[in-house]
Each structure stands twice: as structure tokens, then as C-alpha cells.
Amino acid sequence: MSIGIHDLAVSTAHHVVDLAELAEATGVDPAKYQIGLGQDRMSFPAPDEDIVTMGAAAALPLLERHGTDGIRTVLFATESGVDQSKSAGLFVHELLGLPRTMRVAEFKQACYGATAALQSALGIVARNPRERVLVIASDVARYELDTPGEPTQGAGAVAMLVSADPALLAIEPVSGVAARDVDDFWRPNDSTTAVVDGRLSLTAYLGALTTAWDDFAAGGGVGAGQIDRFCFHQPFTKMARKALKGLAQHTGVELGDELQEATFAYNRELGNTYTASLYAGLAALLDQDDTLAGTRIGLFSYGSGAVGEFFTGIVQPGYQEQRRCEAVTAELAGRVPLSLSEYRELHATEHASGTDLETPRVTQGPFRFAGIRRQARQYEATQG
């Protein structure tokens, strides 16, 4: 029996900011963002959107396609949690009308959280192959204005259904892991934006990759030459290019960018989606490349602070039958552009959790954040 990702879906926010416009307005050469960072645009949430609405929107098509039978667990991974105690997964559970017989929890370790959730899901299914697990990765990446991190913001969610005999990707058992306490990126409890040491985050990412790779090799993992495609965490897509180059140097195996080029398509548009980024890369790869059946993908997950994991999966025959291309392309194209002043105004908007709030109706997505009543967040379906 194999276990892995049976289906996955991507969702994003209502607005978009064009990085060429941001560059021009701030006196930066647009090529720095488009080529230097490998990013074209970044999604930005409307006032009635957040990680919950994006996460529920990503999960909805999975439930429509596969029903809820056997789903007894929802694992919600995020760095941009909306509550210190309650799992964002519980709001999603209600919005999606999932059965009451369910365990729901939130996973946190910066951008790595979704991989921790995925590994836990694999364990749950291994124990009882009749169960399926809904894993949701959803984040709003936000840095201070006028900082080097500003062009690497973004927003989006990926939902994955994890099951036995998966239709998309069977995850292989060997995993290489790496952990080290490092202050490269974090978000204090009273801050809506992340604190980041950009330079340190690059070296910490590359260090975690080589440590995880060595652990993967020591645990009996295949050689780099036996991996057909690579899909790495993409805080900005250029980072994955640096990482593959680093892995090639580390292993002495030639690994060209053509082995990962297809993974960039969605993330160049979404911006950084933290926990969702690696899996948005995987979605793009599965959507863009017709020659993957039976091939092995090497995935590297990194979360600042810092944890890394390298693992592999085998693409299943017939994976093309469940493509997301049209839906993702339409959602990306349908985003409403923000002018620079609108973006800055929205960026600066903060709401104290102690006062009631009714949000304006903006999002065209299936779910919305309606506001805050008696300090509790309220969500609703936009139709019906």
C-alpha cells in the first residue's frame, strides 16, 4: 500500500499588486524583482479575507470531488494564525459543513508547518488506511513597507487530501530532517508583520537543505541523480534556483534548472505563501508537465527558525486527470489590482480584537470574514 497526496487545490486572495509598479514607484529597477527575486506579482487579501477564507476555498473543490467519507482529521498549517488558541481549522470545519466526528488542530513552524501536517497525516493513514486527512496550508506573508522583504509578500492556500493509494503523489518513506534555533525570521505575538534578517534566512535555508539532504542520504534515500524533478520551498522563486545549485555543489551531481522550472509558474504570481508555497510549487509542476507519470520528485520544505525536511514522492499514473490549471489561471487572472496607494492603505489597516467589527463585502470567493463580535471572529459563505 502506498500513502500520499490524493488531490490538491490552490486558492488565493482577491487583490493583486504588480511588482513592476511597486518597483517604479520606489525607484527600484523592476528587473530586480522580476529577475533578481523571480517574482512578478503578489496577492493581497481584501478586508473580508484571511487564512481561513483562503483555506476553506482551497479545500472546497477537494470535498466536491471526493466527498467527506473517511475524513476524520483536519490539520491546518499557518504562520499567520488568527487566534492564539483556537485552530483556524475549526472555522474551516464549520464553513465546509464537515462531520462532527473530527479531530482538528493547527500546526506552526513558519513555512515548514504544512510539511509537519503532511507527515502527521501520512502517519494517521498508515495506522488506519480507511481514514483520509484534509491538510490545509494557508498564509498571508506580510513584511513592513519599504523594507527588503516588501516585494516578497503574498497570500494563498493549498489544500491536500492525504490517503492510501493516492492518485497524485505517493510519498516515499525516507525523509531527511534538520533543526536549529536561528533568528532568521519570526513574528512576535504583538506584531502583524514578520521580523526578518534576510541575509541570514538565505544561509539558514541553504544550511538546512544540506543537513536534511545528508540525513536523507544516511537514512537510505536515493541519490540526487535518481530524482527526476525538484520542488523546493519558494519564499521567492530565485531562492529555489540558489538551493538547487547548492544541492548540486553539495552532491557533485549536475542538477539543471530545467528540473524545477515548471514549479515556479504559480508562485511567481502569488508571491510568498509561506506554508503553502512548496505545495503551490508542486501543484504547478503537476499541472504543467505531461511527462511525470512514474517519475520521482524531490521536495524540500523550509521554515525559518529553522526546520528543513527533504523527502521524495512518486507521481502516479493518471495524475493529469485532476489538473487545476484552468481554475488557478482563472483565479489569478481574476484578481483585482490595487493601486500603490490602495495597497499601502490596506497594508496599514489594523483592527484591535477587542472592538466589534463589520467588514465591507469585497471578496468574490466562496467564503468571507464577516467581522468580529464579542472578540470572536465571524465567517460566512458568500452565497446561499
Ligand X SMILES: CC(C)(COP(=O)(O)OP(=O)(O)OC[C@H]1O[C@@H](n2cnc3c(N)ncnc32)[C@H](O)[C@@H]1OP(=O)(O)O)[C@@H](O)C(=O)NCCC(=O)NCCS
The CA distance from 24 to 230, in Å, is: 33
Q: Does residue number 235 form part of the binding site for ligand X (CB under 6 A)?
A: yes
Which of 202/222 has CB closer to ligand X?
202
Among 39, 201, 210, 267, binds ligand X (CB under 6 A): 201
Among 205, 232, 343, 369, binds ligand X (CB under 6 A): 205
Is 111 a residue of the active site?
yes
User: DSSP string of 172-223?
Assistant: EEEEEEEE----SEE--TT-SS-EE-HHHHHHHHHHHHHHHHHHHHHTTPPP
Among 2, 20, 23, 36, binds ligand X (CB under 6 A): 36
The CA distance from 218 to 199, in Å, is: 29
User: DSSP string of 297-332?
Assistant: EEEEEEETTTEEEEEEEEEPTTGGGG--HHHHHHHH
Is 79 a residue of the active site?
yes
Closest by CA to 301, choosing from 271, 323, 325, 281, is 281
Which of 4/149 has CB closer to ligand X?
149
The residue range among 32-40, 215-223, 250-258, 375-383 that interacts with ligand X, by the rule CB under 6 A, is 32-40
Smallest distance from the beta carbon of 203 to ligand X, in angstroms?
Answer: 9
Distances (CA, A) of 73 to 8, 83, 123, 125: 16, 20, 12, 10
| Angle between the N-to-C axes of helices 325-333 and 277-288, in degrees from 0 to 180, rounded to the nearest 10 | 120
Catalytic residue among 66, 93, 233, 347: 233
CB–CB of 231/297 below 8 Å? yes
Q: Does residue number 257 form part of the binding site for ligand X (CB under 6 A)?
A: no
Q: Does residue number 62 form part of the binding site for ligand X (CB under 6 A)?
A: no
The residue range among 73-81, 174-182, 199-207, 376-384 that interacts with ligand X, by the rule CB under 6 A, is 199-207
Q: From residue 149 to residue 188, what is the string marking binding to ligand X with x (rule CB under 6 A)?
A: x--x------------------------------------
Number of residues that bind ligand X (CB under 6 A): 19
Q: Select the residue whose beta carbon is closest to ligand X and give its number.
A: 36
Active site residues: 79, 111, 233
